[in-house]
Structures are given as structure tokens and as C-alpha cells.
Chains A and B, each alone.
Chain A
Amino acid sequence: MRIKINDQGLELTEQSSLAELLSAQNIDTTAIAVALNGKIMHRGHWQQTKLNDGDTITLVQAVAGG
């Protein structure tokens, strides 16, 4: 199954949830937000959200700025 995170392609060998993907990618989830196919996914839903082939994930984090 192939997905995209921030325009970068990624091959997943098995069915996984959003939470499992973030964990596998070692993402610090302190101040991040996730959108799946353009829809913002609330933190509380990451565990139950299963990923599908062709999904596009936008992952943003807070950084310094004025």
C-alpha cells in the first residue's frame, strides 16, 4: 500500500492506523496537526483511523515565526 506524507511517497507493508504510522516514523506529536486527504483529523481519532492505499497525509508542526 502506497501513501503520501507531505508529498513524499511511502510504502506500507501492512494495514496501519494513523497513530501507528506516526509512531513508526518517530514523529514527536507534541504540537503537530494531521490532515488526511485534506480533512483535519482530531488527535483523539488517530488511533481508530485506518490508512488506505493512495491516502495523502499533511503533517504540520509549530515552528518559530513572527
Chain B
Amino acid sequence: MFRIADRDFQSRLLIGTGKYSSANVMQESLAASGSELVTLALKRVQLDRPGDDIVTPIQNLGLQLLPNTSGAKTAQEAIFAARLAREALGTHWLKLEIHPDPNYLLPDPIETLNAAEALVKEGFTVLPYCGADPVLCKRLQDVGCAAVMPLGAPIGSNQGLLTRDFLRIIIEQASVPVIVDAGIGAPSHAVEAMEMGADAVLVNTAIATANDPVAMSQAFRNAVIAGRMAYEAGLSQNASLKATASSPLTDFLESL
């Protein structure tokens, strides 16, 4: 179990709802993942083509909503998006994301910090998507963010934990939960993050675009559990190029 702000969660797997082939597959995947915290985005309504209601099925599963501010390029836009999200979904929980760069979708640290500070003052529970910068994560924590969400690799790139050395420092220093977000492309990546001591991971593309998203959800669920168990068990520090026998090798042969 772990806690973000005033809420306890059994599952350490957060799921994004983007890129699924259908609403049904998304729903089944969410259920299979065991996740309790699910991200959503906001979009302008197209009057001639209104979208389906995505919220009710998620709420029917009993999951908590975590709207994001995707699309915001500045702190000002993100703050406006956050207020709209609170109004639309009736939650003050927010995944703050500000990424002005369309190629790599890397988060703008200065705008993110400014927006985070303002939104915390407005009563939001802010979970910022950010670079794997230990100094920035400390600053985000200091302005009152409920967690930090450093990236493993660019969004949707499935490259795994390219930032692993910095994630280690962030985990070592943080006093709020560290949720590794973005870049996790396989259950093995999730295991690595959890073994390192991350409190949780957020996965979207790797599940939604798998051949069988429902089965992949279960794979991630198990991976996160295994990684956390390993972290709590304490990994053996015995790593070297030289072999060390785990069975007695010679005694009984000598007696022959």
C-alpha cells in the first residue's frame, strides 16, 4: 500500500487511457491492471462530432480519475486547463504536464514549477510530469506537489529507463512518492523502476498498443508487484564478473 496526499492505494500501477483501439478494450485492460488511478485528457468539444462519454465507465470500475493538462504549453494554459478539469470531472487531483516541444514532448521545467506552485495554492493535488532532474524534483516537492513523476524516456517511446541514474538520485532524495512516468515500454522496465524503489509507475502506450492489451495489463500488474516485492526484500548486492558458487563444488568428489 502507498499513499499520495490523503489517499491510500493498493496498486502501484497507474494507467493512461490513450491510444486504445476501443472503449471496451480500454475498460477490460483497466480492470485487468488492478490500477486505481487513471489518467484522462481534456479536449475541446467538436459540436458536429461530440466524443463518447469516457468517464462513466471508468467511474463504474471504482477508479479515481487523474485528469492531465496535456496540450498546455505554458503555466498559464496549464492553470486554465486544470480549472476546467476540476469543473468537468469534480476532482482536484491533477497530472500537471506542460510540454511545448512537439517532437520529444519533453516537459518545460520552469513553466511546470511555476504552474505547480500556483495550483497547489488553489487547492489542487498536483502530480507533475517532469524531467528526471533531482534538483527540479526537490523544488516541485518544496512547493507542495503530492508526488513527482519523472520520465524514464520520452512519452510513448517505449525505450525504458534511459534516465535510470538520475531516477536513483530522485528516489533517494524524495519525501513524496516518485512515480516513474513515460518511456516504460515493457514489464521488465516497470520491474526495474520498482526494484530501484520507485513508489509507482504510470503506463499507457506499452499496454494500449500491445497485441493483446488486456493480457499486457496483467503482465504489468504482476511486474509491478514483483518489482516492489524485490525492493522490499532487498536485492543481493553480490554483483561481480567473477562467479561465486551457490552450491558446494568439491567436497564429495574428493572422497571418491
Contact = CB atoms under 8 A, between A and B. Distances in A.
Do A and B assemble together? yes
B88 A33 contact: yes
Given A64-B20, A66-B19, A58 B44 contact: yes
Contacts, number: 100
Given A8-B47, A66-B16, A61 B87 contact: no
Contacts of B202: 66
Given A60-B42, A60-B44, A65 B88 contact: no
Interface stretch (B50-58, B168-176, B185-193): B50-58
Contacts of A5: 47
Interface of B: 16-20, 26, 39-47, 50-51, 53-56, 65, 67-68, 70, 80, 83-85, 87-89, 155-156, 202, 204-205
Nearest to A38: B80
B18 A64 contact: yes
B45 A59 contact: yes
A58 B43 CA distance: 10
A61 B39 contact: no
Contacts of A63: 40-43, 51, 54
**Category for how many chain A residues contact B:** 20 to 34
Contact of A62 (B54, B80, B155): B54
A58 to B, nearest CB: 7
A43 interface: yes
A27 B84 CA distance: 16
B44 A65 contact: no
A25 B87 contact: no
Q: Is the interface of B mostly helix, strand, loop or mixed?
A: mixed
Contact of B87 (A6, A30, A33): A33
A30 B54 CA distance: 10
Given A58-B44, A61-B45, A66-B68, A28 B53 contact: yes
Interface string A12-45: 0000000000000111101111110000101100
Contacts of B53: 28, 30-31
B88 A61 contact: yes
Contacts of A40: 83-84, 87
A40 B41 CA distance: 18
Query: Closest 4 A-B residue pairs measured CB to CB?
Result: A65-B41, A66-B16, A66-B204, A33-B88
Contacts of A32: 45, 88
22 contacts: A6-B46, A30-B56, A31-B53, A31-B54, A32-B88, A33-B85, A40-B83, A42-B87, A43-B87, A60-B84, A61-B50, A62-B54, A62-B65, A62-B67, A62-B88, A64-B17, A64-B18, A64-B54, A65-B16, A65-B18, A65-B68, A66-B155
A33 B68 CA distance: 14
A6 B16 CA distance: 26
Q: Which residue of B43, B50, B84, B85 has the most chain A CB atoms within 10 A of its CB atom?
A: B84
